[in-house]
Structure 1
Amino acid sequence: MKILHVIPSVASVRGGPSQAILQTVKALRSLGVDAEIITTNDNGDDVLDVPLSKLVEYKQVPIQFFPRFSPKINSIREFAFSSQLTAWLWQNAHRYDLLHVHAIFSYASTAAMAIARLHNIPYIVRPLGQLCEWSLQQSARKKQIYLNLIERANLNHSRVLHLTSRQEQQEVSRLGLRVPSFVLPHGLSIPPIIPDARYRLRQQLKVPPDEPVILFLSRLHPKKGLEYLIPALGKLKHHRFTFVLAGNGSPEYTNELQSLVASIGICDRTHFAGFVEGESKNLLMQGSDLFALTSHSENFGLAVLEALAAGLPVIITPGVALASVVEQHKLGYVIPQNISAIANALDDCLNSPQLTKQMGDRARQIIHDKYTWNHIASNLIEIYTAIIEKKNLPHLD
């Protein structure tokens, strides 16, 4: 079985979905699937320093990078146009049994779907939440034109849509697409335990050893609902806490957040940690007391899954697709996206550290049991096999 994954970017700055594809392909290969990735050298405002137009090993995964067209106009740069990627796909896509396309409304993905259609190569699409209501409302006119003129036909000719939550599946069903879908979440690589994480994190933050630490770790973007979370924290000045904002975003939006923190009066309690990965990220996850993500919309919420796996209870909003899992297993709070409700949930957590710890212990056990990458990859192999052999899609456990 030879599978080609296509995605506009695998750069860390592009967040969870771009990192998930690396783990997916690694797990597929460990189970005997000949899986590769093609992508561009996109790295946000920059480009990755990687060899181009040849297969290389990148983070233990075989990938071919192609140069992204990088003009100064941000919207064009974000589209990730690459003529070399197009030419390579046109000449080589037929060598694969199936294409797994990740993302829509981006050149690499659109080109891959169009070429697969023309060559009659089966493909499936993981839209990364871009067909969810909130996402479609952003630059709505452009997306509606793009969807109706180009992407709807590409989606309808795919064999199946790969969605990562029931919530995403429900939202996509309202679009009237003529294509089936299956739900398969992201998996998780469980990092090694840092025995003294709490102590080390508080030393790093220069706060007392018993200081409660509340963590936000995600891209800094208006989608993430920080305009609710930060004012909610401002209502808790009677509590001791340190708030860590980990993630990067545009300089303009980061400046807005810094101004908001100042106006709310919690500058002395807030640390802007910037983008973190590796041990720094693991230390934050394992050393904090509570994770908060009050997003408008998340088709999955990989950072939430990582927090739960680290034993952190979470405060999230209904727009985060993992909300049903959190509610079902009592792994934290799912609260309306308003300042008072968020403040009340935070207050409950800070007032009840023992209950909070019980939630975290339960979260760690459940996530470790159900969300390993090998489990996810095994399910994907069943899907691939059914499509290639033209059989009915299996029921996934």
Structure 2
Amino acid sequence: MTLRVLHAVASVGDSYGGVAAAVAALGGVEARLRHDATLVTVHRPEEGGRILRDLPLWFDVELVPPGRLAGRFHGSARLKSTLARLVPQHDLVVVHGVFDFTAHLCGRTARQYAVPYLVWPHGSLDPYDLHKHAWAKRRLAPLWRETLAGAAAVVCTTAREAERLVDFGAGSRRTVLPLPVPTAAPDPRAVARRACGLPEDGRIVLFLGRIDEKKGLPLLLAAFDRAARPGDVLVVAGAGDDRLDRELRTTAAARPGAGRVVFTGWADPVRRRDLLAAADVFALLSDNENFGVAVAEALVAGVAVLVSDEVYLGDELAPEGAAVVTPRDPAAAGRALRDLLGDDRRRRAVGAAGRAWACRELDDGRVGDRYRQLVKEVLTRWSA
């Protein structure tokens, strides 16, 4: 009998960030396992539809129009009735996120119909993230505790996320399962650089992701200034916070060698692949990062990865020689980047080790086996 799994998330709009990308990646796992997977989400067209367009490849998608409330607590009577219809039809529910109406209502509906559910917080229960809207999160703690206490397990993507996770006293069972990343061979570098309009003979440092305060982009600009030689290029590919984007462009234009910093805006999947194939070093110097889908994509592409010591995935990569981890200060980050750029042999070794690690740990089949085992354990305990 085919297992029926319902995924619920507040949004799969492009501006929702890594959560929407993670849901899409997990859809591929569900398809690989031949589960009958459904996705229910509140549909806000203004958040962008690139990710949404591909979701029907893996899910039966139910789009619910938003109610009158704005922000993360948007919801409606239609969402309530949709969940009341869908939840009893499924063997398992996967709730993505914590601090929104969709997650709370989905957990409550699953408990009402005695359907087991997993909560995938995607880093939202990390102490760093809890500082955002801290007052509201503390005041509404009973709601979050209710959702987490009723879950069969809280799924984290890294060990450090599981260790630091704040569950508001729910006593949640925690398990670690990384997100899958397709492991196709990277494109030839020269072809990719021509496609991106980048110089074929320079060294290219790439940032790929949301333009956001926590991503450490001012630190990356400072580190690049210290590490770069004439002809080197820093590519900043992404969109998000328009104010920060303008500030970064202004800062880069005022620095020596301003023409060596290129801002590309949002990169679609084809351009992301080209940029990764073109890069010598992928750099993410975040103030806080649980997993980092772009980090995983860079590993698969065989690019040497440089991350800050607050990118949790670095805990698993550094012992394997699969990434370089640096403290978050300009001098240390500049030295780490300069060392990588200046040593071709080491850079290739880090890139090769990163790809080997990703192909072993993030492959759809490997992640799918671990997910299948988790689901089996949950359903066995639930029926006991």
Does TM, normalized by the shorter one, top 0.5? Answer: yes
* Aligned-residue offset at 1:143: 2.0
After the TM superposition, which of the residue ranges 228-237 and 40-49 deviates more from structure 2? Answer: 40-49
C-alpha distance in structure 1 between counterparts of 2:218 and 2:137, whole Å = 25
Q: In structure 2, what is the equivalent of residue 140 of structure 1?
A: 134
Q: In structure 2, what is the equivalent of residue 38 of structure 1?
A: 40
Task: Tell me the number of residue pairs that the alignment of Structure 1 and Structure 2 aligns.
Answer: 382
1:118-175 CA distance string (max 9 Å, x none): 33321110001001011011222122223x1311121111111011110000101685
| 2:328 corresponds to 1:330 | no
Q: In structure 2, what is the equivalent of residue 193 of structure 1?
A: 186
Q: In structure 1, what is the equivalent of residue 115 of structure 2?
A: 121
Of 269, 272, 277, 1:286 maps to 277
C-alpha distance in structure 2 between counterparts of 1:101 and 1:241, whole Å = 44
Q: Kindly tell me: are residues 347 and 43 of structure 1, through their superposed partners in 2, closer, same or farther at Cα, counting changes over 3 Å? A: farther
Of 179, 193, 197, 1:205 maps to 197
Q: In structure 1, what is the equivalent of residue 173 of structure 2?
A: 180
User: What letter matches 2:4 in structure 1?
Assistant: K
Three-state SS of the structure 2 residue aligned to 1:380 is helix
1:15-53 CA distance string (max 9 Å, x none): 3331222232232233232221111223564578989xx
C-alpha distance in structure 1 between counterparts of 2:61 and 2:208, whole Å = 27
Say whether the 8 Å CA contact 1:41–1:47 is kept in structure 2: no
Three-state SS of the structure 2 residue aligned to 1:153 is helix
Report 1:359-370 matches (<5 A). 359-370=350-361
Q: Kindly tell me: are residues 47 and 81 of structure 1, through their superposed partners in 2, closer, same or farther at Cα, counting changes over 3 Å? A: farther
* Aligned-residue offset at 1:378: 2.2
Identical pairs, percent: 24
Three-state SS of the structure 2 residue aligned to 1:188 is coil
Three-state SS of the structure 1 residue aligned to 2:87 is helix
| 2:376 corresponds to 1:385 | yes
Q: In structure 1, what is the equivalent of residue 92 of structure 2?
A: 98
* Aligned-residue offset at 1:268: 0.6
* Aligned-residue offset at 1:103: 0.7
Please give the root-mean-square deviation of Cα atoms over the aligned residues, in Å. Answer: 2.5
C-alpha distance in structure 2 between counterparts of 1:377 and 1:50, whole Å = 22
Say whether the 8 Å CA contact 1:9–1:43 is kept in structure 2: no
C-alpha distance in structure 1 between counterparts of 2:146 and 2:221, whole Å = 42
Report 1:226-241 matches (<5 A). 226-236=217-227, 238-241=229-232
C-alpha distance in structure 2 between counterparts of 1:20 and 1:333, whole Å = 24
Q: In structure 1, what is the equivalent of residue 59 of structure 2?
A: 61
Q: In structure 2, what is the equivalent of residue 81 of structure 1?
A: 75
Say whether the 8 Å CA contact 2:306–2:323 is kept in structure 1: yes
Three-state SS of the structure 1 residue aligned to 2:234 is strand
Say whether the 8 Å CA contact 1:28–1:378 is kept in structure 2: no
1:245-279 CA distance string (max 9 Å, x none): 11111221211221222233443111111111222
User: What letter matches 2:372 in structure 1?
Assistant: I
Structure 2-normalised TM-score? 0.92
Structure 1-normalised TM-score? 0.89
